């Protein structure tokens, strides 16, 4: 094959075109590579059919499908730290929605799990694997070979590891904070992930909340129950409706619930006045993107015989338009959190009161997009692009020659 000639264009500064090996001009192949720091993934495009063929994975991807199209630019790279991508729920996973939107906007994607992060002499590193995502429930991702490189070689990193918020999660924020100090945009900001416990941080906005008590004193909990007649009690570190109890005055199990949640007075737990609206209108997730509320909320209606408005606990998700109270709550909470670097936040609202402020890995994108025609992940990517444009960066940390191949592949 003759030496290819450079073919520079606005979408791809590293393209080459040339005739087929036979010399016939019946078809033209375009060679592209999209580096994820030091890993190249090769695609071939048949201009007659408009189809893209991915050599590394043997996949056949239609170029007409916007979400299925591989990245077309080398200008920005976006990484994600998440739970194993092969184990997610394709139809419900908000992180996948974000990745599809980022790829469609031209971001090159890099995949990491918590175990891929490390610190070396004060430099945050990660074993990154090039990632291609597809809007295909039969196979929504492909991973390339991993390379070890500075996290700051990325432009943006999504921290989407699900709770529990344990010591390992805290250590992870320390590593991400070093990358942030080197110029990386981390969404959401590591300090905020540490500071904003999703249940306790509601105390920063008491005007938005029902009466709430955080204590390890079982006597205080008993007095709170007597004061309000019916309360909800839960631990501070769980998610998905786990270990949530509803207690009424005179409940013979109240004492044992207090003992269990506080470990006999050795651990903090939270109690809130019971809000009866949960039965009819559910627990609504109001999503905030860079401080602004998405115009629809996802009302999670508890299943029959259950009091928990959590999708993971069997609740039914119903999209609804925001009301005036929702917008007021968003106006109280959204701008201060955006100023602290929390670009994607979920408020849990029951009967007009905020019960939780979710910052670690808020969900609800897929359900709202499907029911209400929103494009929430694309809205988030636009906000990220604005943040990146507002703070021009120096050349990315490290160099391609500094990256070390780990020899792994997805």
Q: Considering 308, 310, 369, 378, which one is annotated as catalytic?
A: 308
Select from 199, 205, 234 the least CA-distant residue to 308: 234
Residue 21 C-beta-side C-alpha neighbours within 13 Å: 0
CA distance 74 to 76: 6
Asked whether 306 and 314 are in contact (CB, 8 A), the reply is yes
188 classed as catalytic: no
Peptide bond into 285 cis (omega under 30): no
Q: Considering 234, 273, 366, 396, which one is annotated as catalytic?
A: 234
Radius of gyration over every alpha carbon of the chain, rounded to an integer in angstroms: 24
CA distance 44 to 52: 6
234 classed as catalytic: yes
H helix count then E strand count, the chain:
9, 24
CA distance 229 to 274: 9
Select from 157, 153, 131, 126 the least CA-distant residue to 142: 131
400 classed as catalytic: no
User: Which token pair is 237?
Assistant: 């570190």
Backbone dihedral region for residue 408 (phi beyond 0: left; psi -120 to 50: alpha; all else: beta): beta
348 classed as catalytic: yes
300 classed as catalytic: yes
Q: Considering 69, 199, 366, 396, which one is annotated as catalytic?
A: 199
Select from 390, 197, 355, 385 the least CA-distant residue to 284: 355
Q: Considering 69, 127, 300, 396, which one is annotated as catalytic?
A: 300
155 classed as catalytic: no
Q: How far is CA 402 from the centre of its chain?
A: 29
230 classed as catalytic: no
- Residue 25 CB coordination number (10 Å): 8
Select from 231, 217, 225, 114 the least CA-distant residue to 175: 114
Q: Considering 155, 310, 358, 369, which one is annotated as catalytic?
A: 358
SS3 349: strand
Q: Considering 348, 367, 369, 378, which one is annotated as catalytic?
A: 348
The strand order across the sheet containing 59-62 reads 5-6, 16-19, 28-33, 42-46, 51-54, 59-62
What values do phi and psi take at 346, rounded to 5? -120, 120
Asked whether 299 and 319 are in contact (CB, 8 A), the reply is yes
CA distances from 342 to 76, 158, 180 (A): 21, 11, 14
285 classed as catalytic: yes
CA distance 238 to 166: 10
Active site residues: 199, 234, 285, 300, 308, 348, 356, 358
């Amino acid at each position: 094959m003759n030496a290819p000639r450079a073919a520079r264009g606005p979408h791809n500064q590293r393209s080459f075109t040339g005739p087929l090996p036979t010399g016939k001009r019946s078809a033209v192949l375009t060679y592209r590579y999209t580096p994820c720091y030091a890993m190249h993934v090769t695609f071939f495009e048949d201009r007659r059919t408009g189809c893209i063929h991915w050599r590394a994975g043997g996949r056949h991807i239609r170029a007409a499908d916007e979400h299925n199209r591989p990245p077309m630019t080398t200008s920005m790279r976006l990484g994600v730290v998440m739970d194993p991508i092969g184990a997610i729920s394709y139809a419900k996973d908000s992180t996948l929605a974000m990745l599809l939107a980022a790829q469609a906007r031209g971001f090159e994607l890099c995949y990491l799990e918590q175990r891929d992060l490390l610190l070396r002499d004060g430099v945050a590193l990660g074993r990154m694997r090039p990632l291609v995502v597809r809007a295909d429930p039969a196979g929504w991702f492909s991973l390339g070979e991993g390379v070890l490189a500075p996290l700051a070689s990325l432009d943006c990193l999504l921290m989407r590891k699900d709770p529990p918020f344990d010591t390992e999660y805290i250590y992870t924020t320390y590593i991400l904070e070093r990358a942030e100090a080197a110029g990386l945009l981390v969404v959401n900001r590591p300090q905020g992930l540490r500071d904003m416990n999703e249940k306790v941080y509601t105390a920063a906005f008491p005007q938005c909340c029902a009466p709430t008590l955080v204590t390890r004193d079982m006597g205080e909990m008993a007095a709170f129950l007597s004061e309000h007649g019916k309360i909800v009690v839960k631990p501070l570190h769980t998610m998905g409706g786990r270990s949530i109890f509803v207690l009424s005055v005179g409940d013979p199990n109240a004492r044992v619930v207090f003992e269990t949640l506080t470990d006999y007075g050795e651990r903090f737990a939270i109690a809130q006045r019971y809000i009866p609206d949960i039965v009819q209108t559910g627990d609504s997730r109001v999503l905030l993107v860079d401080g602004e509320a998405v115009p629809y909320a996802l009302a999670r209606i508890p299943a029959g015989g259950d009091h928990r408005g959590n999708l993971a606990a069997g609740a039914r998700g119903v999209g609804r338009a925001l009301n005036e109270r929702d917008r007021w709550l968003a106006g109280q909470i959204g701008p201060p959190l955006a100023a602290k670097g929390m670009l994607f936040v979920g408020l849990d609202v029951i009967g007009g009161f905020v019960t939780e402020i979710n910052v670690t890995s808020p969900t609800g994108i897929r359900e709202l997009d499907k029911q209400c025609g929103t494009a929430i992940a694309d809205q988030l990517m636009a906000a990220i692009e604005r943040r990146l444009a507002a703070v021009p960066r120096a050349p990315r940390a490290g160099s391609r020659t500094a990256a070390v191949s780990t020899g792994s592949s997805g």
